[in-house]
Amino acid sequence: MSDFLAAHGSELILKTWQQIYIAAISLGLGILVAVPAGIILAHFPKVAQLVMGISSMLQTIPALAILALMIPIFGIGALPAIIALFIYSLMPILRNTYIGMQGVDPNVVDSAKGLGMTNTQLTFKVQVPLAMPVIMGGIRLSAVYVISWSTLASYIGAGGLGDFIFNGLDLFQTDLILGGTIPIIIIAILTDYLLGKIEHRLSPIPKQ
């Protein structure tokens, strides 16, 4: 352990940072696009079906293939990796936001409207707060996906902890494989834990 850190310590910090950097940007972009899109789609159920269908299809493309597809368009490095992972993060967030919005008790929506809320007030004071636990569920799912898949970004030269793992696989060096894998697991667990805290904070109905 200390031998590994002595040999690869600074490299480990750099790779971990790259991993977090790629994952965080992809996820951040995913949230920025998918949450508003899901909220808007909730008002247009017919369009929503179509959009959901298309994004489900994108989801079926293997992660490695989509990364490879990015190379002819964006070249190699962090950019294509971020774009590919961004596309991957969209679907769970979009779907959960839409379902969460749809799942708000229609009676609550009806009475909010009947009391005289405008559509904007209805969306932001009633529907979004009540859909928040489901929306956060989608974000947590996407976060864990993106963190683990950003390992593959190493293949298209984006760096990250994947470098350790693939080197280890090539050289049959277990310590390199573990040196890459363990930090990824720690990052994923920590992220999920933090998002869980945020979810609790944003939860509309306080739990006793």
Partner 1 sequence: MTEDTACVEFRHVTKIYNKSQLPAVSDINLKIARGAFCCLIGTSGSGKTTLMRMINRMNPITKGTVLVNGQDVKNLNPVNLRRHIGYVIQSNGLMPHMTIKDNITIVPRLLKWSEDKIEQKVQELIQLAELPTEFLNRYPAELSGGQQQRVGVLRALAADQDLILMDEPFGALDPITRETLQDFVKKLQTQLDKTIIFVTHDMDEALKLATQMVIMNEGKVIQDDTPVNILHQPANEFVKNLLGEDRLEEAQHYTVQVGEIMLTDPVKINIGASLTQALSVMKNRHVDTLLVTDDSNHLKGFISVSKLDKRYHHVDSVSDILETKLATLHPDSYLRDYAGKILQGNMTYVPVVDHQDKLVGIVTRSALVNLVYSTIWGSTEGNIQGADKHE
**Closest among 145, 119, 176, 204 to 5, alpha carbons compared:** 176
Judged by CB under 8 A, does residue 111 bind partner 1? Answer: yes
Segment interacting with partner 1 (CB under 8 A) among 65-73, 100-108, 145-153, 165-173: 100-108
Residue 194 Cβ, how far from partner 1 at the closest point, in Å?
23
- Take residue 129 and report the two structure tokens written for it: 């707060």
Judged by CB under 8 A, does residue 11 bind partner 1? Answer: no
Judged by CB under 8 A, does residue 102 bind partner 1? Answer: no
Judged by CB under 8 A, does residue 103 bind partner 1? Answer: no
The pair phi, psi for residue 159, each rounded to 5°, is: 80, -155
Q: Are 95 and 138 in contact (CB under 8 A)?
A: yes
Judged by CB under 8 A, does residue 108 bind partner 1? Answer: yes
Q: Among 77, 103, 129, 157, which residue sits at the site for partner 1 (rule: CB under 8 A)?
A: 129
Residue 104 Cβ, how far from partner 1 at the closest point, in Å?
10
Number of neighbouring beta carbons within 10 Å of residue 136: 22
Judged by CB under 8 A, does residue 72 bind partner 1? Answer: no
Q: Among 43, 69, 110, 186, which residue sits at the site for partner 1 (rule: CB under 8 A)?
A: 110
Q: Among 14, 113, 173, 199, which residue sits at the site for partner 1 (rule: CB under 8 A)?
A: 113
Judged by CB under 8 A, does residue 204 bind partner 1? Answer: yes
How many Å apart are CA 104 and CA 112, to the nearest integer?
A: 12
Q: Among 29, 51, 112, 188, which residue sits at the site for partner 1 (rule: CB under 8 A)?
A: 112
**Closest among 69, 63, 67, 65 to 91, alpha carbons compared:** 63
> Which helix (DSSP H) or strand (DSSP E) does residue 26 occupy?
helix 2-41
The pair phi, psi for residue 158, each rounded to 5°, is: -90, -5
In the bound state with partner 1, the residue whose beta carbon lies nearer, of 56 and 203, is 203
User: Cβ contacts of residue 43 below 8 Å, gap of 6+?
Assistant: 119
Site residues, partner 1 (CB under 8 A): 105, 107-108, 110-118, 121, 126, 129-130, 204-206
